[in-house]
Amino acid sequence: MAKQITISHPIIGNVTASTAKEGVVQLLGLQYATLKDRFSQPVMREYSLNETIDGTKLGPQVLSIAPNADPEFGLIQHTLEYDRSTFSQSDTEGLCLNITIPVSSDGGIDENAGLPVFAFIHGGGFMVGSGNYPQYDMTKFVRLSKESGMPCIAVSMNYRLGAPGFLTSSAMQAVGYKANNGLRDQRTALLWLHKHLAGFGGDAFNITLAGESAGGVSVCYHLFSKQPLFKRMISMSGTMLLMAPISVKEADENFQHTLRALGLQENSATKHLLQMDGQELVGKMVKAGTRNAPTIDDDICPAQFNFESIANERTNIPGQKWCEAAMIGDCQFDGNIQSLRLMHRKKGIASAFCSTIKMSLESHPGLADRLLSAYGLTPELNDVDGLFKVLQVANDMNFYVPSIIVSQNLSRQMKMYTYRFNEPNPWDGPWKGHATHVLDIAFLYQNFNEYLDEKQKSVAEQFGKDVIAFVNGQDPWDASSDMNAVAKVLGPEGKMEVVQDEPDRVGRRSVLLELDEDVGFDVLNDAFNEFMRGPPPV
Rounded-to-integer distance, Cα 288 and Cα 260, Å = 9
Quick one: pLDDT at residue 537? 41
* Its pTM surpasses 0.75: yes
pLDDT above 60 for 441: yes
Helices 383-395 and 521-532: angle between axes, nearest 10 degrees: 140
Residue 316 CA to residue 306 CA, distance in Å, equals 12
pLDDT above 70: residue 538: no
Cα 234 to Cα 215: distance, rounded to the nearest angstrom? 10
Q: Measuring CA to CA, how many Å separate 384 from each of 245, 348, 381, 391?
A: 32, 10, 8, 11
Determine the pLDDT at residue 535.
57
Reference 167, options 70, 236, 232, 264; nearest CA is 264
Average pLDDT rounded to a whole number, residues 40-49: 95
Question: Higher pLDDT residue, 263 or 474?
Answer: 474
- Given this model, what pLDDT does residue 147 score? 96
Q: What is the pLDDT of residue 509?
A: 97
∠ CA 252-63-161, rounded to 5°: 45
d(CA 453, CA 214): 30
Give the pLDDT of residue 446.
98
For residues 162-170, give the mean pLDDT: 95
Higher pLDDT, 30 or 537: 30
Residues 42-68 have a mean pLDDT of 92
Report the share of the chain in percent with pLDDT over 90.
Answer: 87
Going by C-beta distance under 8 Å and a sequence separation of 6 or more, which residues neighbour residue 58? 28, 29, 86, 87, 96, 98, 132
Taking the C-alpha atoms of residue 514 and residue 401, their distance in angstroms, rounded to an integer, is 11
Distance CA 288, CA 118 (A): 36
Where would I find the H helices in 375-520?
Answer: 383-395, 401-411, 439-444, 454-471, 503-506, 511-519
Residue 108, pLDDT > 90, answer no
Q: What is the mean pLDDT of residues 187-194?
A: 98
Neighbour count for residue 527 (Cβ, 10 Å): 23
CA distance 508 to 518: 20
Interval 357-385 mean pLDDT: 97
Question: Quick one: average pLDDT of 406-418?
Answer: 96
Average pLDDT score, the chain: 95
- Residues 323-365: tens digit of each pLDDT: 999 999 999 999 999 999 999 999 999 999 999 999 999 999 9
| pLDDT of the residue at 50 | 87
Half-sphere exposure of 284 (CA within 13 A, CB side): 16
Burial 383-404 (b: 16+ CB within 10 A, else e): eeebbbbbbbbbbbbbbbbbbb
- For 235-267, the pLDDT digits (tens) are 999 999 999 999 999 999 999 999 998 888 888
CA pair distance 30, 217, nearest whole angstrom: 24
Kindly report which listed range (13-22, 147-156, 254-263) carries the lowest average pLDDT score. 13-22
Cα 362 from Cα 354, distance rounded (Å)? 12
Q: What is the pLDDT confidence band of residue 536, given thresholds at 50, 70 and 90? A: very low
**Which DSSP string do the residues of 155-193 spell out, in sequence order?**
EEE----HHHHH---HHHHHTT--S-HHHHHHHHHHHHH
Bridge partners (DSSP) of residue 484 are 481
Distance CA 101, CA 465 (A): 17
pLDDT of residue 1: 56
CB 476 within 8 A of CB 467: yes
- What's the CA gap between 212 and 383, in Å, rounded? 29
Cis peptide before 294 (omega within 30 of 0): no
Least confidently predicted of 65-79, 392-406, 494-508: 65-79
Is 236 in contact with 440 (CB distance < 8 Å)?
yes
Confidence tier at 63 by pLDDT (50, 70, 90): very high
Helix, strand, coil shares, percent, the chain, to 5? 40, 20, 40
Q: Does domain 3-245+293-342+398-508 have CATH number 3.30.360.10?
A: no
CA dihedral for 342, 344, 349, 352, sign (positive or negative) = negative
Q: What is the band of 32 on the pLDDT scale with cuts at 50, 70, 90?
A: very high
For CA atoms 250, 255, 260, 265, the dihedral sign is: negative
Q: How far apart are CA 411 and CA 347, in angstroms?
A: 42
Helices (H), 121-275: 139-147, 162-166, 170-174, 181-196, 214-221, 248-262, 269-275
Length of the chain as a residue count:
538
Question: pLDDT exceeding 70 applies to what percent of the chain?
Answer: 99
Tell me how far apart the alpha carbons of residues 270 and 262 are, in angstroms, rounded to a whole number.
Answer: 12
Q: What are phi and psi of 206, to 5 degrees?
A: -135, 60
| DSSP code at position 378 | -
